[in-house]
Amino acid sequence: MNNPRYRWVIVAAGGLLGCVAIGGMFSLPVLLQPIARDTGWSVAGISSAMTIGFLAMACCSMAWGTLSDRIGARPVVLTGSIVIAASLALASRATSLLEFQLLFGLIIGAATSAIFAPMMATVTGWFETQRSLAVSLVSAGMGMAPLTMSPLVARLVSTYDWRTTMQILAVVVASIMIPVALLVRRPPALVRGAAASGDTGPQSEMSISQAVRSPQFIILLATNFFCCATHSGPIIHTVSYAISCGIPLVAAVSIYSLEGLAGLGGRIAFGLLGDRFGAKRVLVLGLLVQAFGALGYVFVRELAGFYAVAALFGFVYAGVMPLYSVLARENFPLKIMGTVIGGTAMAGSLGMATGPIAGGLIYDTFSSYAWLYIGAWGMGLGAFLMAMCFRPFPKARAAPVPA
């Protein structure tokens, strides 16, 4: 497949696969109360499936990425697509909380991680120019899940019971993801062979073992962990915080919706800025603004203030996320890109898993969310300082032309 225009098909496929996969996993918040009413299971027990899902994503991201390096992204994302659909169908028939947690949390979380790293690695390999924009568009597609899949699930569960809703969702997931997964192709450079991969410089022959021990890889992982830990708590708990400030539920939920809409714009804007000014420079600045955006929630009590902070915070935290894949592609060989991006996804998932429990513990201890946002500010400053320490591998010098 040498058609250069096909790279935009890969971008569209990555965005759509990510949207539907994330939408399947994040259907749980919509179904939480119907499941609890029907089964008598505790809300905490049902919602813990999401935490299990994040941990499963963390554990499996790097393995799926490495597998995609070896056999290509298509069989990996196809497997993930089939497993997500099958697990949704099986979870709809769960008769115990433990069975539901395993099927919906562990299996769907593990299968969802088969989409992100392989697709991001594939997209970065298809683009030598406009790379930041390309991965940002894929990320924007994933960010559409709350605006598309969640309303679909809400509409279904208002008509059917939760079990039927999940069965219909399984059919939707399978009918979209499986055909789209078949469109995925290896980057042309890998098809032509390593000699034409476009990887030059001292890192071009780097092995996986050398990559994961390099300071560049370790700093990327640490930065992504602290970055995701920064925005995880605010994402999960801001609606509850707004309600505790006296804002009605419907209005409080709209804060989260505005944050998501701002994030779509942020992904595109940061992609364009990354192509123009460099991914590292834009990432560093974005991480600094993210830290103070999280701190901004401490000082708001009225709806207008929440809207202002949510717009800025959503724009920035969503915007910086695709830039990790760009930095990975600029510094590591294409042949191990799935492993490298899978590692950053692992760190990010672990960071995301900290927010729900940390916010709950802080509120239970202090009867206030202030320390959650102050802690997020500290995490954000840590991510900013780590990103400042990132030093790209030196560029290869062109060989002199013989006289």
* pLDDT (tens place) for every residue of the chain, 403 residues total: 556 789 999 999 999 999 999 889 888 877 888 898 899 988 778 878 888 888 898 899 999 999 999 999 999 999 999 999 999 999 999 999 999 999 999 999 999 999 988 999 999 888 888 888 898 889 888 888 877 887 888 889 889 999 999 999 999 999 999 999 999 998 887 766 544 444 554 466 788 899 999 999 999 999 999 999 999 888 878 888 888 899 987 788 788 788 888 998 999 999 999 999 999 999 999 999 999 999 999 999 999 999 999 999 999 999 999 999 999 988 998 889 999 999 998 999 899 888 877 887 888 888 888 999 999 999 999 999 999 999 998 765 544 445 4
d(CA 81, CA 95): 24
Q: Are 258 and 119 within 8 A, CB to CB?
A: no
Judge whether 1-189 and 204-391 match in fold. yes
4 SS3 class: coil
Q: How far is CA 114 from CA 20, 70, 160, 316, 374, in A?
A: 13, 14, 30, 26, 34
pTM attached to this predicted model: 0.81
Residue 145 neighbours by CB under 8 Å, 6+ apart: 18, 19, 20, 22, 23, 26
Question: What was the pLDDT predicted at 157?
Answer: 87
Name the architecture of domain 204-391: Up-down Bundle (1.20)
Q: Which of 322, 278, 306 is nearest to 134 (CA)?
A: 322
Residue at token pair 């927010």:
355
Where would I find the H helices in 214-336? 215-244, 249-277, 279-296, 303-320, 323-331
Residue at token pair 């898993």:
353
Other Cβ atoms less than 10 A from the Cβ of 213: the count is 10
Question: What was the pLDDT predicted at 199?
Answer: 55
Q: Which two tokens stand for residue 78?
A: 């196809």
Other Cβ atoms less than 10 A from the Cβ of 190: the count is 19
Chain mean position to CA 312: 19
Question: What was the pLDDT predicted at 194?
Answer: 47
Q: Where are the domains of the chain?
A: 1-189, 204-391
d(CA 43, CA 360): 14
Q: Does domain 1-189 have CATH number 1.20.1250.20?
A: yes
Question: What was the pLDDT predicted at 388?
Answer: 96
Chain mean position to CA 322: 9
If you count them, how many residues does the chain have?
Answer: 403
Sign of CA dihedral 295, 300, 303, 304: negative
Q: Which of 37, 68, 72 is nearest to 161 (CA)?
A: 37
Other Cβ atoms less than 10 A from the Cβ of 92: the count is 21
Q: How far is CA 346 from CA 30, 59, 61, 203, in A?
A: 25, 7, 5, 22
Other Cβ atoms less than 10 A from the Cβ of 374: the count is 15
Three-state SS annotation for 368-379: CCHHHHHHHHHH
Where would I find the beta strands (DSSP E) of 87-220? Answer: none
Sign of CA dihedral 117, 277, 145, 305: positive
d(CA 28, CA 173): 15
Other Cβ atoms less than 10 A from the Cβ of 403: the count is 3
d(CA 115, CA 7): 17
Chain mean position to CA 394: 29
132-163 in b/e form (b: 16+ CB < 10 A) is bbbbbbbbbbbbbbbeebbebbeebbeeeebb
